[in-house]
Amino acid sequence: MASCVGTLSSPNHTLLFSQIKHSAAAKTRRRVVRAESVIEKLGIKIERNPPHSKLTQLGIKQWPKWGCPPSKFPWTYDAKETCYLLEGKVKVTPSGSNDSVEIGAGDLVVFPKGMSCTWDVSVGVDKHYKFEY
């Protein structure tokens, strides 16, 4: 069995990967590759579809839940927030920016303390969240 684990970094992305090659008994080659991408845009960190093991390690199921229907509203983060979206689709536009970040179901997102933004919810949100003061 051969295995490889590594990290690739660029200014906006960190890519963690693991690769396993195995199959002496079956005399065939199998290759399994799993990639997790953490994107940082406009100060917001997004990990799309993190592994279940990471969600368990963070204890997300014990975090409070919050939800809202489709709507548009301003929001300011008085503390760093980490959230995991169970449902929904949101376009987040930081104050003073013409650019936005889209987040949705399956995303693990970190908003920095002090960020002011507008949430434009196109599909109702259901999320677990945790504030770090």
Q: Please indicate, yes or no, whether residues 78 and 22 belong to a single structural domain of this protein.
A: no
Q: How many domains does the chain have?
A: 2
Q: Does 60 share its domain with 100?
A: yes
Q: Are residues 72 and 34 in the same domain?
A: no
Return the closest-CA partner of residue 46 out of 118, 111, 95: 111
The helix, strand and coil proportions of the chain, stated in percent and rounded to the nearest 5, come to 10, 65, 30
Same domain, 103 and 120: yes
Output the pLDDT for position 17: 40
What is the chain's pLDDT, residue by residue, as a tens digit (133 residues)?
443 444 344 444 444 444 334 444 444 444 444 455 899 999 999 999 999 999 999 999 999 999 999 999 999 999 999 999 999 999 999 999 999 999 999 999 999 999 999 999 999 999 999 999 9
pTM of the model: 0.74
Q: Please tell me whether residues 25 and 72 are part of one structural domain.
A: no
